[in-house]
Amino acid sequence: MVELLPLTDIEPQTVEDLLDAAFGPDRFGRTAYRIREGVDAVPALSFALVDDAALIGTIQCWPVAHRSADGVATPLVMVGPVAVRPDVQGGGHGRALMAHMLDAAESRADGALMMIGDPEYYGRFFGFAADATGAWDLPGPFERRRLLARATNGHALPTGAGMIGPR
Ligand SMILES: CC(C)(COP(=O)(O)OP(=O)(O)OC[C@H]1O[C@@H](n2cnc3c(N)ncnc32)[C@H](O)[C@@H]1OP(=O)(O)O)[C@@H](O)C(=O)NCCC(=O)NCCS
């Protein structure tokens, strides 16, 4: 039976092993890791999918911010990684994790959502778009079309120039 649990119920090394399997061990060099360097995942927005006690998927969210050149900080929530164990990908688990997180975010997120991801997946199914992020900057290389965002819980997206980094 597949269950959705808070990610805090899962042993941290088990989560790291799943992320290695989904993304490969070079994942730490990614710009997404620099954006949320030194902060802890948001427990209320981070979940695990468990099938008969085996971890098959995770989603984590992080407290980050958009900072304009004149020092105005707007809180954002960075979504990701979203990871599904390679042998069970394509079975709807990624969508289930995202849908659960988005539902929780509607009442609990303390900022709009942003992520680095494929618009073909996160736009098509979940309403993320790059429209608002054209003037945003990140602390590392990225493809602009993959810098996505989505308003939630009454939090609008900052559209001006700004650097995204840890809160
Ligand atoms: C991306 C990922 C989370 C999706 O989860 P999943 O359980 O495999 O996907 P789902 O079953 O929910 O959705 C499958 C659908 O999404 C599509 N899809 C999956 N990944 C996609 C991508 N990167 N781009 C476009 N479409 C994608 C599939 O083609 C499929 O479409 P269909 O229903 O029309 O056939 C998972 O494949 C994964 O962990 N991949 C490796 C890590 C990764 O790239 N994570 C995302 C970046 S944060």
So what's the architecture of 2-166 in CATH? 3-Layer(aba) Sandwich (3.40)
Tens digit of each residue's pLDDT (9 = 90 or more) over 104-151: 999 999 999 999 999 999 999 999 999 999 999 999 999 999 999 999
**Would residue 24 be called left, alpha or beta, if left means φ above 0 and alpha means ψ between -120 and 50 degrees?**
left
Residue nearest to atom 4 of ligand 1 (CA): 94
- Quote the ligand 1 centre to 121 CA distance (angstroms): 6
Give 46's pLDDT tier (boundaries 50, 70, 90).
Answer: very high
Residue nearest to atom 27 of ligand 1 (CA): 121
Paired with 58 in beta bridges are 48, 83
Confidence (pLDDT) at 143:
96
Q: Is the pLDDT of residue 8 over 90?
A: yes
- Quote the ligand 1 centre to 167 CA distance (angstroms): 29
What amino acid occupies position 19?
L
Q: What percent of the chain has pLDDT over 70?
A: 100
Confidence (pLDDT) at 26:
83
Give 48's pLDDT tier (boundaries 50, 70, 90).
Answer: very high
Give 61's pLDDT tier (boundaries 50, 70, 90).
Answer: very high
- Quote the ligand 1 centre to 69 CA distance (angstroms): 36
- The tokens describing 90, both together, are 């394509």
- Spell out the domain ranges in the chain: 2-166
Q: What is the mean pLDDT of residues 58-82?
A: 96
Q: Is the pLDDT of residue 20 over 90?
A: yes
Q: Is the pLDDT of residue 29 over 90?
A: no
Vertex 94: Cα angle to 56 and 84 (nearest 5): 35
Q: Global pTM?
A: 0.94
- Ligand 1 atom showing the smallest separation from residue 80 Cα: 48
